[in-house]
Chains A and B, each alone.
Chain A
Amino acid sequence: MPVKDPDTRMLATADQNSGMGQMTLAAEDRRNDEAALVDAVRRNAPGSREALYHRFKRRVFALAARIAGPNEAEEVAQEAFIRIFRGLARFRGDAALSTWIYRLAVNAALSHRARRPPPSESLEARVTEVSLVEGPDDGDAALRRRLERGLRALPTGYRTAIVLHDIEGLEHEEIAAVLGCHVGTSKSQLHKARAKLREILAEDGITAADVGGRAGRTAAGSARQER
């Protein structure tokens, strides 16, 4: 039976002890709030579509950018939101609204990518590519830029899993619901993706110290203590 690593397990226990009741209440409030928003959009209440858009715009746009590519993000996000508004009448509430929206956004991105595969990583493509990271080309901004590029070099399945789990913070059960796959497939894709990304970053000259950063320093400390 899978068990959590002690560090992770400790964190989970702390979370549960500190505010499980509050989390449940917050989740309940969010569900009610989302149900009200869905109902308002279905009734075509003034401003309801825009409210839903603003609530999910960054999640949808980020997914679109990372799965279909930054140059395609606007078009994909537009398509995703149109699918969302068209499909909301059929949304039954079996899954959380956010899971359903993630599913439509991922599907829009994947179908767009299938229709229009990204150009090869030519110099021209890199020069004209919209950057998801603002700021000077050094320090943290440069590292983030290279991470984004590393993500784009991953196979689509790996990239989708790592984006949904490590960036968007979805659980494997949610990812399975979004992608229509088994939980085991989601886990397997994620672990392969992380390993592959590490290789890609290493080829790009990014060292353990570069990505390790704070995590490296704190985790190294705890790892040594464990030893």
Chain B
Amino acid sequence: MTSPTSSTRHVTAERVSEWLDGDISEREATAVRAHVAACPACADLVNELRGQGESLRELGRPEPPATLWSTIEGVMDAEDARAERGRWSWPSWLAGALGGAVTAAVAVWLVVGGRATTAGASGSLAAVGGIDGALAARSAGASGTGSDPLLIEAERELERAAASYAKAAGRLRAILDREQALWDPARRARVAERLARLDDAIVHSRAVADRDPGDGTSAEMLFSAYRRQIDFLAEVVHRGSPGIEEGLR
């Protein structure tokens, strides 16, 4: 073993690394090899860098926390839901029909509210307001004050609101009838069962409202039943067969 001479200066760690990886020319590699063979210090450096590389390879990869996937899944599910809502634009006719229903309901409120304000001392109307007021007006009409033009107008607006909801639901149902021909019978049956329950709720609410026109709660139940039906129909029509299971929940 010989000591390094001035013509064979110690090699740097960076140079050794390049030599170990074959990232230098053949001529340079020969020079490094010759020096390392003659210089114990540089031979140690070679061993040290080799050992360092092996130790790094043995570090391995730590296991991520078990909760990481559920966090990522939650974020992605929320993004999917947002994207889904973004893609879901109500058809213009449906928006128009529902807009009509809402406008009619607001008109009822305004008409009856105005009537209540002007009536002032008519008591129950001033107290109930809104749809309650409209139905109270129907009740009042039934008891002999039906000639009041504001009350008659309120009753008509209520009917228009109900008709608008029914029209929107009817059009959605027509689309559904066309589309569900492609679905499997089990799914069609589940949708039909759910729609039948929603229909029952509408029929029941309407019967209650007709029996006791002065009960504002029953009118709200009726409109709520229409809205549930429309929401369900729109969801199923929009999302198609794969979305049904969610819509049925």
A residues within 8 A CB of B23? 2, 187, 191
Interface residues of A in 190-218 (CB under 8 A from B): 190-192, 194-195, 197-199, 201, 208, 211-216
Q: Would you call B43 an interface residue if the criterion is a C-beta within 8 Å of the partner chain's C-beta atoms?
A: yes
Q: Is the CB of B18 within 8 A of A191?
A: yes
A residues within 8 A CB of B249? none
Q: Cα distance A227–B20 when bound, in Å?
A: 16
Minimal beta-carbon separation of A226 from chain B (angstroms): 6
Q: Would you call A74 an interface residue if the criterion is a C-beta within 8 Å of the partner chain's C-beta atoms?
A: yes
Q: Cα distance A198–B45 when bound, in Å?
A: 9
Q: Is the CB of B22 within 8 A of A9?
A: yes
Q: Is the CB of B76 within 8 A of A85?
A: yes
Interface string of B65-84 (1 = CB under 8 A from A): 10011011101100110000
Total interface residues in chain A, CB < 8 Å: 61
Interface residues of B in 21-59 (CB under 8 A from A): 21-26, 29, 33, 36-38, 43-59
Q: Is the CB of B20 within 8 A of A74?
A: no
B residues within 8 A CB of A226? 33, 37
Q: Is the CB of B49 within 8 A of A194?
A: yes
B residues within 8 A CB of A224? 43
Q: Would you call B14 an interface residue if the criterion is a C-beta within 8 Å of the partner chain's C-beta atoms?
A: yes
B residues within 8 A CB of A73? 62, 64
Q: Would you call A5 an interface residue if the criterion is a C-beta within 8 Å of the partner chain's C-beta atoms?
A: yes
Minimal beta-carbon separation of B233 from chain A (angstroms): 24
Q: Would you call A127 an interface residue if the criterion is a C-beta within 8 Å of the partner chain's C-beta atoms?
A: no
Q: Cα distance A84–B50 when bound, in Å?
A: 35
Q: Is the CB of A5 within 8 A of B29?
A: yes
Q: Cα distance A212–B48 when bound, in Å?
A: 5
Q: Is the CB of A190 within 8 A of B17?
A: yes
Closest to A195 in B: B13
Interface string of B90-126 (1 = CB under 8 A from A): 0000000000000000000000000000000000000
Minimal beta-carbon separation of A132 from chain B (angstroms): 5
Q: Would you call A169 an interface residue if the criterion is a C-beta within 8 Å of the partner chain's C-beta atoms?
A: yes
B26's contact among A3, A53, A82, by CB below 8 Å, is which? A3
Q: Is the CB of A208 within 8 A of B61?
A: no
Instruction: Please tell me which stretch of A90-98, A118-126, A141-149 contacts chain B, meaning at least 4 of its Cβ atoms lie within 8 angstroms of it.
Output: A141-149
Interface residues of A in 166-185 (CB under 8 A from B): 166-167, 169
Q: Given A2-B25, A194-B49, A215-B47, are A78 and B17 also a contact pair (CB < 8 Å)? A: no
Minimal beta-carbon separation of B111 from chain A (angstroms): 49
B residues within 8 A CB of A81? 72
Minimal beta-carbon separation of A214 from chain B (angstroms): 7
B residues within 8 A CB of A55? none
A residues within 8 A CB of B22? 2-5, 8-9
Q: Would you call B145 an interface residue if the criterion is a C-beta within 8 Å of the partner chain's C-beta atoms?
A: no
Q: Is the CB of B68 within 8 A of A77?
A: yes
Q: Would you call A219 an interface residue if the criterion is a C-beta within 8 Å of the partner chain's C-beta atoms?
A: yes
Q: Is the CB of A50 within 8 A of B73?
A: yes
B52's contact among A8, A86, A198, A214, by CB below 8 Å, is which? A198
Q: Given A5-B22, A53-B69, A212-B48, are A58 and B53 also a contact pair (CB < 8 Å)? A: no
A residues within 8 A CB of B57? 166-167, 169
A residues within 8 A CB of B246? none
Q: Is the CB of A78 within 8 A of B54?
A: no
Most buried by A among B14, B21, B37, B55: B55
B residues within 8 A CB of A86? 79
Q: Given A195-B14, A227-B37, are A58 and B51 also a contact pair (CB < 8 Å)? A: no
Minimal beta-carbon separation of A142 from chain B (angstroms): 12
Q: Is the CB of B64 within 8 A of A212?
A: no
A residues within 8 A CB of B72? 53, 78, 81-82, 85
B55's contact among A2, A58, A77, A147, by CB below 8 Å, is which? A147
Q: Given A166-B57, A215-B54, are A58 and B47 also a contact pair (CB < 8 Å)? A: no
A58's contact among B25, B26, B50, B63, by CB below 8 Å, is which? B63
Residues of A within 8 A of B (CB): 1-5, 8-9, 44, 49-50, 53-54, 57-62, 65, 73-74, 77-78, 81-82, 85-86, 132-133, 143-144, 147-148, 151, 162, 166-167, 169, 187, 190-192, 194-195, 197-199, 201, 208, 211-216, 219-220, 223-224, 226-227
Residues of B within 8 A of A (CB): 1, 12-14, 17-26, 29, 33, 36-38, 43-65, 68-69, 71-73, 75-76, 79-80
